[in-house]
Amino acid sequence: MNFMDGVYKVQDIPFTDLADQYGTPLFVYDGDKIKSQYQKMVNAFDVKKLKINYACKALTNINILKLMRQLGSGIDAVSIGEIKLSLLAGFPPQDIVYTPNSVGIEEIEEAIKLGVRINIDNIEMLEYFGHHYPDLKICIRINPHVMAGGHSKISVGHIDSKFGISIHQMPLVHRIVKNQKIQVEGIHMHTGSDILDVEVFLHAADILFNQAREFDELDYIDFGSGFKVKYKENDIETDIEALGKAMSRKFNEFCKETGMDLTLAFEPGKYLVSESGYFLAKTNIIKQTTSTVFAGINTGFNHMIRPMFYNAHHDIINVSSVDGIPKLYTVVGYICETDTFAYNRKINQITPGDILVFKNAGAYCFSMASNYNSRLLPAEVLILDNKSYLIRERQEFEDLLKNQVEVPIFEKAEVDG
């Protein structure tokens, strides 16, 4: 976000112009920010072979996927739908790593037929592959039992997590691999999101390095992601340069010591797209109660659930009132349940019709949106080289009826009546 000549802009385009052109609510993504985040991560590591696999669950619009492919990224996919979208975006199957959790064997079989890399996170599935696909190279997701991440809902590497194979079960894993002659090409971990402490990440990495010594034919080690981004002014974030320097040293020393020619892999999602995204909403009402001033806007948790689901903070700026006097507002949506985006937040004076912009709306916002309350999904716009491109049309009412089937019995009942 830029503030130039008294106007808030994304690149050189005023947010108010985008709201006028495309309507609200509206998601806007700054393509230049995605490029700079990707390059920042690549530059942080000094290793012979580095692979960045974009965790596309963060934002799956096919144009974002094509941009990632253009940058040289691979894909971290968690569903058959994400696999198919990535293939449609032009990714070769071997550049897609599929990491399912609690899915049916039918979905995994479909992924195998599509030729993508498979990352296995439970022993039963490992045995299944040994019996049915002994010639297929696989990756193993290990749970290092390291508690990391911003809070419990995004911490996935602790001892009670449903993700990965427990580090304490690795002796059994090695017996299965040996007895069934399973080809293991990679090992993987992901401890959580919003990891700030580099030392915690490096501690978990050491656990994975120790496990890597037990496999003879590894091609890569995938250390997941979870890097923290800035959510507010003067916020702290993962020091990617410090992490890159320390991890590169450890990785290079490990490869030299073991003689392995490995690829260092990561799977960032939020880190690449979160700060590129902005969510624009129009103010419907200002409502004063005995102790609170509500700013009611034309959206709700049906479009951006992170503040309600994760208690996530998103800076909110009134781009229609640059010189307005800051006042305290509780910003709420139009859903029939409590959908509060911010409590008593200091925002320049808001009046009905003003455009509010939510920052950090690039990751896990549109991708978690729904039609709750029969509300329509918003449009998406990508900004590249100071030009705006509509990359998803706003839904229309007819879209709510798509795939619904009206049962003829009700028509007969009306006639009989």
CA 291, 294, 300, 306 torsion-angle sign: negative
Which of left, alpha, beta for 104 (phi over 0: left; psi -120 to 50: alpha)? beta
Q: Confirm or deny that 54 is annotated as ligand binding.
A: no
336 among known catalytic residues: yes
CA 352, 355, 361, 367 torsion-angle sign: positive
Q: Confirm or deny that 213 is annotated as ligand binding.
A: no
Among 227, 217, 229, 211, which residue's Cα sits nearest to residue 266? 227
* Catalytic residue chosen out of the listed positions 56, 139, 255, 336: 336
User: What is d(CA 296, CA 331) in angstroms, rounded to the nearest whole number?
Assistant: 6
Among 189, 187, 204, 203, which residue's Cα sits nearest to residue 260? 187
Could you give the count of Cα atoms lying within 13 Å of 145 in the half-sphere of its Cβ? 8
User: What is d(CA 265, CA 268) in angstroms, rounded to the nearest whole number?
Assistant: 10
- Dig out the tokens for 305 from the structure: 């659930």
Strand partners, 195: 227
User: What is d(CA 416, CA 10) in angstroms, rounded to the nearest whole number?
Assistant: 60
- Block residue for tokens 């003689």: 259
Strand partners, 357: 280, 317
Main-chain dihedrals φ then ψ at residue 374, nearest 5 degrees: 55, 40
Q: Confirm or deny that 337 is annotated as ligand binding.
A: yes
Do you know the residue count of the chain? 417
User: What is d(CA 165, CA 255) in angstroms, rounded to the nearest whole number?
Assistant: 24
- Dig out the tokens for 352 from the structure: 């009905």
Q: Confirm or deny that 394 is annotated as ligand binding.
A: no
Q: Confirm or deny that 231 is annotated as ligand binding.
A: no
The SS3 assignment for 74 reads strand
Which H or E element spans position 32? helix 31-44
Q: What distance lies between CA 56 and its chain's CA centroid?
A: 6
Residues annotated in a binding site for substrate = 306, 310, 337, 364
Active site residues: 336
